[in-house]
Amino acid sequence: MTHIMACIDNSQSSLAVCDYAAWASQKLNAPLTLLHVLDEEKYPASADLSGNIGLGSREHLLEELATLDAKRSRLALEQGQHMLEKARERTVIFGAAFPELKQRHGHLVDSLNELQENIRLLVIGRVGEDSKRGVHSLGSQIEAVVRTIHRPILIAASNYKKPEKVMLAFDGSRTSHKTVELLAASPLCTNLPIHLVMVGADSEGNREALEKARNALLTHGFIVIAQILQGEVEAALHVYQAEHGIDLLVMGAYGHSSIRRFLVGSTTTTMLRTATMPVLLLR
């Protein structure tokens, strides 16, 4: 787990991915790798015509189509290499050390799964090049990546803004306390104020859990603002984010609590779809 790995494609998110990856690389003092995966469903590596022998004139047509597919794949690979080189130029300008470039042919999730032993933090855009370009669009592969890659994941916003205020969504569960510990131990958010926000009843138990989490962050030198909010989780978090100028949302990636269920599961991706800021998922 040594590298920051950033997924680069031709989407509207890629510039922001480069910038957040460069920021994270500097904060974590970790080398940066830029990854481009050419989807094998759109660009097959080769065509198998072994089952089409004896089709006469149609066989010739199929061979021509296979040749065209091969040419498209080659051009797509060249375009991907060009994107990676431009991405490297941008991350260097933003202060990252000279990044390594990787190009794979296959499926994004499979490629990341093969590489994840060397991933310290994955940076990926909220939408890919094939996704709809709406305000609340979310890439079709994000949930699969979150489920499969057991590493911290920074899901970039559409436009980069250097994080200056962090909101950690907290629910008092064991997983949530673990998220606090992971954030406290990481240099990613050092020198940034942490807004520790809990949505729920203002009960003695919740106050005790919030105080325990606050003390864990204070011990590591963070400035902490702890709050218990009322209302629906998603709406309360968004209102707080807007009122306090939060630049980065930190959450645990899994679970069934009222906060974490918005990310993965039957209700899926609601927070990611509506968030206007980057989201850091910890596990």
Pair (197, 101) in one structural domain: no
Helix axes 57-93, 14-28, angle to 10 degrees: 50
My answer on whether 108 and 133 are in the same domain is: yes
> Under 8 Å CB-to-CB from 99, ≥6 apart: which residues?
25, 31, 32, 33, 34, 87, 88, 91, 92
CATH classification at residue 249 = 3.40.50.620
In this structure, what token pair is assigned to residue 174?
A: 């064991």
pLDDT of 267 over the 50 cut:
no
Contact indicator for 59, 65 with CB cutoff of 8 Å? no
> Is residue 98 domain-shared with residue 193, that is, in the same domain?
no
- Same domain, yes or no, for 152 and 170? no
Tell me what the pLDDT averaged over the chain comes to. Answer: 84
Last residue of a domain, one of 134, 156, 178: 156
pLDDT tens-digit series, residues 207-257: 999 999 999 999 999 999 999 999 988 889 999 999 999 999 998 875 545
Same domain, 25 and 127: yes
Residue 71 lies in a domain: no
Nearest of 258, 235, 279, 248 to residue 146 by alpha carbon? 279
Domain span including residue 175: 166-282
What is the reported pLDDT for 31? 97
**Distance separating alpha carbons of residues 126 and 13, to the nearest angstrom:** 7
- CA distance linking residue 212 with residue 172, whole number of Å: 9
Query: Does 136 share its domain with 266?
Result: no
Give residue 165's identity as a one-letter amino acid code.
K
What is the per-residue pLDDT across 136-188, written as a single tens digit (0 to 9) for each? 455 668 878 988 899 999 999 889 999 999 999 998 988 889 999 999 999 99
Residues 188 and 248 in one domain: yes
Cβ-based neighbour number of residue 182 at 10 Å: 16
Give the residue with greater pLDDT, 197 vs 262. Answer: 197
User: Which of 96, 122, 156 is the C-terminal boundary of a domain?
Assistant: 156
Give CA torsion, residues 67, 68, 72, 75, to 10 deg. 70
Structure-block tokens of residue 28 = 């974590």
Count Cα neighbours of 48 within 13 Å in the Cβ-side half-sphere.
2
140-149 pLDDT, tens digit per residue, is 688 789 888 9
Based on the structure, what is the number of domains in the chain?
A: 2
Which residue from 256, 176, 245 is spatially nearest to 217, judged by alpha carbons?
176
Judgement on whether residues 133 and 196 belong to the same structural domain of the protein: no
Among the candidates 111, 132, 156, a domain finishes at 156
Residue 42: predicted pLDDT: 64
